[in-house]
Every structure is written in C-alpha cells, then in structure tokens.
Amino acid sequence: MELNKKIIPINKWFNEKLSNPVIIAGPCSAESESQLLKTAIELSKNKNIKIFRAGVWKPRTRPGSFEGAGSKALKWLEKVKETTGLKIAVEVATPEHIKECEQHGIDIFWIGARTTSNPFSVQQIAENIQNTYTPILIKNPINPDIELWTGAIERLLSAGINKIAAVHRGFYPFEKTTLRNIPKWEIPIELMIRFPELSVICDPSHISGNTKYIKEISQKAFDLSFNGLMIESHCCPKEALSDKKQQLEPFELFNLLNELQYRKDKLTNGEINILESYRSKIDSIDFQLLELLSQRMNIVEEIGEYKSHNNLSILQLRRWKHIIESRLEYGNKLNLDSVFIKNILKIIHDESIKKQAIVASTLKKN
C-alpha cells in the first residue's frame, strides 16, 4: 500500500530518542493536579519512560461513573510536562478536544476504542488535524474488526498524518472471561502484515483488567515483536476513581519492566516471524475454544439439574441424533471432515453425559 511508506516509526517522532521498546505510562484518569504530579514524578525516575498518559475525558459505558476531570486537567498536565520533561499523551474524541489539547501543548493524541469503532468520528478527527505534526495513537475498535482498524489508519494517512502508531488493547468479550478483553493476537499481527512500517504497541492494562495478568500479556506482546507498551500506573491505585484493579504503582511497574524480556531478534528488516504469527493465531483460537467449552459445560450442568428435578433420562437419543446431523451439515459447509466432526462431538457428548450423571447423583444424595 502506497500510504504505508509515509508512516514514521514511533521512535522517530521526536528529536529526543525514545526507549526501545517504547514505554508509555500514567493513570487511567486525571483526577487531580497532585495525583498527576506525584505519579509523573515517580515515573520520570525510570529512564525508559518518556511519555506520560492520562485520560482527561473518559467515555464511560453508563453515566454515573467518573468521566474524567475534563478540560481543567489540561492545565495540570502542562504542569506535569514543565516539572518532569515527560511528553504528554491524551485521548481525544472530538474536534473540540483536539483544539483544547493543542492550546495546552499536548504532545500525543490517542483515539480510543469506541471512537475507532465509528468511521464518522475518525473522519471528523482526521479532517481537524490534517497535516498536523502531532503524533496519533489509534487503539483497536471494541469488536475484533480488522477492517475498522485498518480504515481508521487509512483515514489519518489520507489526511496527511504520518506519525501514527496502533495500540492493541483487546476486544470486548461477549461472555465473561478471565481477562477484561480478549487479546485475539492474530488481529494485531494481521495489522503488522498490512502495515509493515507501522509501530504497534500493546495496552496490557485493558486486556488484563487486573494487575496480576499484566506481566504475562506484556511478555506475550514482546514475544510477538510489539514496539512497546502503554501501561496504566497510579500513585495510589486503591484510591483511583476508575479502573483501580488494573493500575500499577510506579515501583511495581519498574519491577515488571525489569523482569520482561524484549525479543529483538523477532524483527528482521521490519518483517515479523511468520511462523510465530501462525502459532499466535492458533493460541488465540485455542483459548477461545476452551472458554466456549467451559460455557457449554456450565449449561450442561444446568440441564442435568432440570432433568433430575423433572425425572427425565440423561441420554436423549433424539436430541443426540439432531446434534450429529445438524453439526455435520454445518461443519461440511466449513470444509471440515465428517469423521473429525463426529469424533469431537462424541468426546464432548461423553463428557456432557458424565457431568449430568454427577449432577443427578449429587442431587439424589442431598
């Protein structure tokens, strides 16, 4: 793609050289001037952290949650920049946000997942920052739609913006999972293939939703040749007004960064390791399969209770026959082998029968 040649890598955005990998850190939300200053001063003690992030306007799913301090926080961030020398990154969603940020010397804009999901909003932003020198970070859309993410990047490139990087923050799960958002690593990998010059960084805080998973997700990102991390850090997470479970204290972040291994040999002339990308896709799909199987077995146990209470037999031959026929028909349309489908269904069905039998036995004892 011709536009791809115009992209400037993230480590060449400023005269001051950024670390490799790039580390962006700061609180989920700007809550007060003292909170921002205290967090930023601590983070600035790590020479690898050159960019401070903070949410000024927070788009919440439902009203009533803390939605950020708003425009007054931009003055606080000016003070942070003046005090620490850190570059400042802020999320923007409207032309008005852009104008206010420019007036307060914000160094980097980022487009959030909800905004990326709306091509009208992205186009409006692109038109209001045409030919700007302000770098833009583009988070993935809420749903796993590679075309929406690609389209957002193309709209900005077409507007003459070439300091662009993508941020992988995971995708909204339709069912509750261990992580806050599903990584689906195959999607950012596909983005890397489409835009070889594009810097892609990972937001392990939003993927994890809990600090105990951040290290694992961060290392996975480095193993897949991501160019950096955007991690949430707060001077006192327990008192945070938003996303307190996923924010690290600065010293915790420093310890985590020291424990991570950056796989420099995964990139050669801007090309990712293709075999590793295939393996990552398989890993992502396997974990999704396990999540779905767990959900299926939970429903099986509920069915077992219903059958037991209503004196119904565990094995329902008519239902089993319907499952085989309908799944074979659907699987064949997907070019799956019939024997393979039958074998998988038999294993799942046997486990389902066993679970229902355990449920029935437990209820009988009680």
> Distance between CA 303 and CA 131 in Å, rounded?
60
What pLDDT was estimated at residue 264? 59
Contact status, residue 138 vs residue 156, Cβ threshold 8 Å: yes
What pLDDT was estimated at residue 64? 62
Domain with CATH 1.20.59.10 in the chain: 276-365
- Kindly give the confidence (pLDDT) of every residue in the chain, 366 residues in length, as a single tens digit, with 9 standing for 90 and above: 465 668 999 999 998 888 889 999 999 999 999 999 999 999 999 999 999 999 998 776 666 667 778 999 999 999 999 999 999 999 999 999 999 999 999 999 999 999 999 999 999 999 988 766 799 999 999 999 999 999 999 999 999 899 999 999 999 987 778 899 999 999 999 999 999 999 999 999 999 999 999 999 999 999 888 999 999 999 999 999 999 999 999 999 999 999 998 865 444 544 556 777 788 888 888 988 998 999 999 999 999 999 888 888 888 889 999 999 999 999 999 999 999 999 999 999 999 999 999 988 888 776
> Distance between CA 24 and CA 18 in Å, rounded?
10
Contact partners, residue 174, CB within 8 Å, separation at least 6:
none
Contact status, residue 37 vs residue 88, Cβ threshold 8 Å: no
What pLDDT was estimated at residue 269? 42
Phi, psi of 2 (to 5 degrees): -65, -40
> Distance between CA 53 and CA 271 in Å, rounded?
29
C-alpha pair distances (Å), 235 with each of 28, 139, 278 = 11, 25, 39
Domain with CATH 3.20.20.70 in the chain: 2-270
What pLDDT was estimated at residue 270? 47
Angle at the Cα of 193 from the Cα atoms of 191 and 196, rounded to 5 degrees:
95
How many CB atoms lie under 10 A from the CB of residue 164? 25
Going by C-alpha positions, the residue among 145, 138, 90 that lies closest to residue 111 is: 138
Structure tokens at 1: 């793609």
Contact status, residue 219 vs residue 13, Cβ threshold 8 Å: no
Length of the chain: 366
Helix/strand/coil percentages in the chain, nearest 5: 55, 15, 35
Contact partners, residue 354, CB within 8 Å, separation at least 6:
none
Write out the H or E segment, with its range, that includes residue 168: strand 164-168
Write out the H or E segment, with its range, that includes residue 89: strand 87-91
Structure tokens at 293: 């199987």
What pLDDT was estimated at residue 314? 85
- For 25, the 3-state DSSP assignment is strand
The residues that bridge with 182 in the sheet, in sequence order, are 171
Q: Which CATH number fits domain 2-270: 3.20.20.70, 3.40.50.2300, 3.30.470.10, 2.40.128.120?
A: 3.20.20.70
- Return the sign of the alpha-carbon dihedral for residues 239, 245, 250, 255: positive
DSSP 244: G
Q: Which CATH class is domain 276-365?
A: mainly alpha
Going by C-alpha positions, the residue among 159, 154, 64, 53 that lies closest to residue 112 is: 53
